[in-house]
Amino acid sequence: MLKIKDNVDLKELEKYEFEELCYSNNISWFWVKKDVSIDSRSKHIELYEETDYLLDDDLDILYDLIKANLVEKVEE
């Protein structure tokens, strides 16, 4: 599983065109772009795609985050 590193301020994701969204009942804030979302509590990256493959845009987003050294791999 991939997650944003703990030392990264989630506001930094705005540079990558992520948007902060709020869900009711104090569940969490999410940073969402295309089909990639990040839970602000755990900082886990999740992909939401209804097909069995990732779109190029989704891969580009993940690549940009990894290249910027903002992502780490963690065990589930």
Residue 72 has phi, psi (to 5 degrees) of: -135, 155
CB atoms within 10 A of CB 31: 22
pLDDT above 90 for 3: yes
Residue with tokens 């795609």: 49
Of 34 and 4, more confident = 4
Structural contact between residues 29 and 18, judged by C-beta atoms closer than 8 angstroms: no
**Structural domain harbouring 54:** 2-73
What is the predicted pLDDT for the residue at 69? 96
Distance from C-alpha of 3 to C-alpha of 26, rounded to nearest angstrom: 21
Considering the entire predicted model, what is its pTM?
Answer: 0.79
Of 5 and 20, more confident = 5
Task: Give the CATH number of the domain where residue 55 resides.
Answer: 3.30.310
Distance from C-alpha of 31 to C-alpha of 46, rounded to nearest angstrom: 10
Average pLDDT, the chain: 84
Structural domain tally of the chain?
1
